[in-house]
Structure 1
Amino acid sequence: MTGEQPSDLIRSVSRALRVLEEVARADRPLSVKVIARRCGLNLSTSYHLVRTLCYEGYLHRRPDGDYLLGSQVAERFHEMLGAFERPPMASAVLRHLAADSGHTAYLAQLAEGRLIVVDVAEGPRSPWLEDLQAGLETAPHATALGKALLLALPSRVRRGVLTGYGLRRFTPSTPSSVEDLEEELAGLRPGQVVEEHGQFRDQVACAGAVVPGTQWAIGISARGLTIPPRAAARLGAAVRDLARA
């Protein structure tokens, strides 16, 4: 949640969402009593919310009486991804980039100041990055994808995005202030391939670039603190392919 709390919140909706969030975060199914305790709700309210969410398909009740996420959550997830109007041939370009370079390829966009990964094609030369998966929100200030998209924004808008999101430290190398990031981007021009080395994950490097004429960025990741020149060249070619498409 971001920004000031609206004065006209519907409390029952907020509580239901809090229940979903707690069930989603848990590493095992939860009982209603545990849900009530974690959400700070009384037991009667929790039973009403859980029954409603089960009826609508957002929670699923196991035979032992515990609850986990229901199928409607997955449906909304796929609808959310589908709502992003991706460039034509985006998935094909990503798959070709991953196959040609051997590195995992990502497609992302800034949406309301949040960096959303929309598509991923896995490659064997990249580590598994759990925060860079389709549908997830990730850090614009610490990732090459985010930096490439931020670079394309006017300075005032960029500062607003960074201030709203915050600059969480992922590693000792992560930029810790807006000024640090502005200094890092100062020597780059919009559309240029942007790299980060160990800022998002230790011993992982990423590169990203904005597709000309769009608000999309393509990126790749690599083990170690360097992006192989061949992989960077393949990334540039993929950006051009997507721009032409």
Structure 2
Amino acid sequence: MRWDLACGADWEHFLPGEPYELREDCVIPEDQDPLTTDEEIEKEKHLDMPTSWVRPLNVSRPDFERRFPEDGAKVIYFKRTIYERFAPYRNLIGLVRRLTTYETLDYQEPISRWEWYANRDDLLHQVRIDYRTDATEERFDKGRPDCLRSLRHRAAPSDEYELKFFHQYRFDALRTLIYHATYIKEHYDRRDDLLHYREFKNIPKDPVTKEASKLTITFATPYMADPTYGCGTYRLTQES
């Protein structure tokens, strides 16, 4: 397959008004003035589109923004699934789409739900809820000051928050932050000091033994990254 569009042996010019000088069999003589664009189109015009048999479609601005005739919303029912669409700015929270799956055919006992958002200040664009595990995941676009990428919350008994960041845009290269009432875990990526993991563990005061509360900090560095920096795991314990 040869892709030289100027070669008339392989490609045939179909549309009028194409560059006339690219055709090998249509060289403009030196004693002839080149034609204007309009004259060239009229000379080669050989295809006329039929006129339309319908009137022009005019959509007003409010109707265009509403998108859907029924109050700016549309609901589509599938087997064990409901798909909802909303016009932009119809909801104050910026919800534009929602997809819910169910266990039964009569749309009872929801399994999971996806929600899509737009035009939000916090750049939230998707939320996924899993009703079986009571887990919620929120996803964000790039551009937040904290470079947050996603937030995942697990309900009791874990009651844990997992935050993921666009680490390549953060000064501290923080990739993942796991938060709990008793501990905080931080995962880093490609730091100059080779730190890749840090954990803060809070041991509350024992009401029976009256033992003081403790805060344990654990640092970890990769073994094969750079032997000159040292490696291993370090723990610091503070009592109060």
TM-score normalized with structure 2 length: 0.19
Which is higher, the Rg of structure 1 or of structure 2?
2
* Bigger relative contact order, structure 1 or 2 (CA pairs below 8 A, ≥6 apart): 1
